[in-house]
Amino acid sequence: MTTSDIETEQPVEKMEDSSDLVEETGQETHAALSEKPATSTPEQRMAELEEQLAKAKERILREMADAENARRRAQKDKEDVSKYAISAFAKELLGVSDNFRRALEAVPGEGLDPAMKNLIVGIDATERQLLATLERFGIKPMDPLGKPYDPNFHRVMTEVEGTDKRPGTVVQVLQQGYTIHGRLLREALVAVAKGGEADAPHLDTSA
């Protein structure tokens, strides 16, 4: 083989290499174009935007509702704290009211000298003033006498036979019960009319 033959064959090899490169590049471009997503139409894009807007509006409304519920709960908690913060103090004062009532009930109806009568009048006035003060703060006495026994507000201490009341009816109040803004502050200790075993309310023997 001559030198000229070698020189003639070299360009042929280069042309073959260039042809392969063009073919590979074309294949890559075709693959890239085939992977490119199709462009959405204006109608499809509009539908997508409307769907996103609806979801965003729903999320905002839900978050606003949650915020409003949280605000209301906080407001109610604040009101409850304001209403019932004095419950423990008020319950202690009820013991003072009980002692006033016991003192008045222990006084005989007749045979009192003027000084004792004045003392009784003063005790009675003090008791009424105390009860009026408690009532201004939402603290009120219950009146269970003659009403059916209610385990939510009454504690049965004894049962009484021989009454003309229905079994379970409160026939005697042994200790006055009170509520604060409608909520139980101190249960009433009561005696109820006795009935059959099936009718008898639970008798508290812990006291």
What is the distance between the alpha carbons of residues 22 and 140, in angstroms, rounded to a whole number? 99
Query: What b/e readout covers 61-88, taking b as 16+ CB neighbours within 10 angstroms?
Result: eeeeeeeeeeeeeeeeeeeeeeeeebbe
**pLDDT confidence of residue 194:** 87
Higher pLDDT, 173 or 199: 173
**pLDDT confidence of residue 8:** 44
Residues 6+ apart with CB under 8 A from 39: none
Q: Is the pLDDT of residue 14 over 70?
A: no
Amino acid at 192: V
Average pLDDT for 18-23: 50
Amino acid at 182: G
**pLDDT confidence of residue 162:** 81
Q: Which helix (H) or strand (E) holds 156?
A: strand 154-160
Give the chain's domains with CATH numbers: 139-207 (2.30.22.10)
Residue 202, burial from CB neighbour count under 10 angstroms (0-12, 13-18, 19+): exposed
Pairing of strands 139-141, 178-180: antiparallel
* Among the ranges given (2-11, 34-43, 111-120, 157-166), the one the predictor scored with the smallest mean pLDDT: 2-11
* Among the ranges given (1-15, 26-40, 85-99, 151-165), the one the predictor scored with the smallest mean pLDDT: 1-15
What is the distance between the alpha carbons of residues 205 and 207, in angstroms, rounded to a whole number? 6
Give the CA count within 13 Å in the CB-facing half-sphere of 33: 6
In DSSP terms, which residues pair with 188 in a beta bridge? 154
What tens digit of pLDDT does each residue of 50-68 get?
Answer: 999 999 999 999 999 999 9
Q: Which helix (H) or strand (E) holds 205?
A: none
Average pLDDT for 40-58: 89
**pLDDT confidence of residue 196:** 53
**pLDDT confidence of residue 186:** 95
Mean per-residue pLDDT over the chain, rounded:
80
Confidence band of 192 (pLDDT split at 50, 70, 90) = very high
**pLDDT confidence of residue 28:** 52
Q: Is the pLDDT of residue 9 over 60?
A: no
